[in-house]
Amino acid sequence: MSAKPKIKKRASAGIYRMPGSRFWWYRFADENGKRIAISLKTEDETEAIIKKGEIIQNVARFGTAAYRPQKPGTGPVHQIDGVIDRYVDEAKNRLKNAMRPTVADNVSLMVKNFCKDTGIKHVGEVTTDKMETWIKGKKRAGRSTETLRSYSRDLRAWLRWLLDERLVINQEMLDMPDAAPVGRKNWLPQETVDHLIETAFKPPRKSAPDAPREVDNDLKFILHCGFSAGFRRNEIGEARVEWFDLERNGSGVVDVFSNEGFRTKDDDARTIPLKKAFKEFLSEYLKGRKTGYVLAPEKKKGANRYRYDPNRRLMTHFRNAGVKCSWHDMRRSFASNLLTRGESIYVVAAWLGDNVSVVERSYGFLGLGAGNIDR
């Protein structure tokens, strides 16, 4: 019978290293006296002692249920999602600058994706270096400057909370990427918008490349929502048949409102009159339908940010048309074309569901034909 390997104990109680083991481990007992062993993922004894202290703090806040008993070599398992959920809940319920529910959902998803991509299971594994590496990876993947800044801003806020709660220690604050030298002002004139809607075709079939192109009505709906009604990206995927009333006010309206699984920004509903071309399209596109999602009605909300996201479909259309445009540029084009033709900025702000100051700063840009200098 072989003798059990001797465990090398250290002055710091509970920290040990098995013969041949690369990392230090920390062993403690749960409320029922059952032993739990956690790999500290470090060869340095001083760092191991620090990580032990982090675990003790986590157990004091979340209990030992955050850790599952394991044998040396299996690695730690920590419910990092629970820490993220607690952060988001506190942010939504704070008295000052409370996080909006829709923003909280997006922040939660982004932070959880960060942890998943970087293999973080235990809150003590969160580091500034991992955040910076993840952001750089997103930059290499082609994410825009504004998107990178949004990711960094949300990760910074989470890291600051972790530091304040002493859930992580000895971490520098994450740096923000430089802002783009020019703000987002890109928008398309109405002539270009009309052409994009008119040429919303499905890709040619490989078996019959020379056959007449078939209209892509789903794509046309997406384009109308953005260019003709100023919908936000998530609103397009969440749009429901019952939002559209083709008879009200004679010309028809669309009511954007919250429903199960979806909340509008600030929980504000808004009503937008239907442009003539949009109404004519909808009269055929929605014929016979009374309720349900307009796009991909069979698709349910999953773990992703969007219930349905036809991003590739839309970006391919823009690329084939030779135009530079984003989801937000459609909304910006909606506002800018109306203002260029003389519509009141107060009316446009109401249709967008934003404050006038936001429209002035981010959406309302005037084309060359705006105004009448001899008025």
Question: What CATH number is attached to the domain comprising 344?
Answer: 1.10.443.10
Digitized pLDDT (tens) for each residue of the chain, 375 residues in all = 555 555 454 447 788 887 777 788 888 887 777 788 777 778 888 888 888 887 887 777 666 655 654 444 444 444 688 889 889 999 998 888 888 887 888 899 899 999 999 999 888 889 999 999 999 999 998 887 878 889 999 999 999 999 988 888 888 999 988 766 545 688 999 999 999 999 999 888 777 777 788 999 999 999 999 999 999 998 999 999 999 999 998 889 999 998 777 888 777 889 999 999 999 999 999 999 999 999 999 988 776 778 888 999 999 999 999 999 999 899 999 999 999 888 999 999 999 998 888 888 777 776 666 666 555
Q: What pLDDT shows up at residue 43?
A: 83
Q: Does residue 313 belong to any structural domain of this protein? A: yes
If asked whether residues 270 and 334 sit together in one domain, one would say yes
If asked whether residues 223 and 260 sit together in one domain, one would say yes
Q: Does residue 178 belong to any structural domain of this protein? A: no
Q: What pLDDT shows up at residue 184?
A: 66
List residues bridging with 201 in a β-sheet.
215
If asked whether residues 154 and 277 sit together in one domain, one would say no
Look up the pTM and report it: 0.63
Q: What pLDDT shows up at residue 272?
A: 95
Q: How many folded domains does the chain comprise? A: 3
Q: Does residue 150 belong to any structural domain of this protein? A: yes
Closest CA to 25 of 5, 45, 4: 45
If asked whether residues 138 and 253 sit together in one domain, one would say no
Q: Does residue 61 belong to any structural domain of this protein? A: yes
Q: Does residue 25 belong to any structural domain of this protein? A: yes
Check: CB of residue 252 under 8 Å from CB of residue 279. yes
Q: What pLDDT shows up at residue 9?
A: 47
Q: What pLDDT shows up at residue 62?
A: 63
Q: Does residue 170 belong to any structural domain of this protein? A: no
Closest CA to 73 of 38, 43, 42, 46: 38
If asked whether residues 56 and 91 sit together in one domain, one would say no
Q: How far apart are CA 174 and CA 152, in angstroms?
A: 7
Spell out the residues 6+ positions from residue 258 whose beta carbon is closer than 8 angstroms to its own.
264, 267, 269
Q: What pLDDT shows up at residue 68?
A: 52
If asked whether residues 249 and 213 sit together in one domain, one would say yes
Task: Give φ, ψ of 39 to 5 degrees.
Answer: -70, 130
If asked whether residues 56 and 104 sit together in one domain, one would say no
| Domain span including residue 351 | 190-363
Beta strands in the chain (DSSP E): 8-9, 15-17, 25-29, 35-39, 244-245, 253-256, 270-273
Of 147, 164, 181, the domain-final residue: 164
If asked whether residues 233 and 352 sit together in one domain, one would say yes
Of 148, 164, 180, the domain-final residue: 164
If asked whether residues 24 and 100 sit together in one domain, one would say no
Q: Does residue 375 belong to any structural domain of this protein? A: no
If asked whether residues 231 and 351 sit together in one domain, one would say yes
Of 130, 164, 198, the domain-final residue: 164
If asked whether residues 280 and 357 sit together in one domain, one would say yes
Q: Does residue 113 belong to any structural domain of this protein? A: yes
Check: CB of residue 85 under 8 Å from CB of residue 66. no
If asked whether residues 128 and 196 sit together in one domain, one would say no
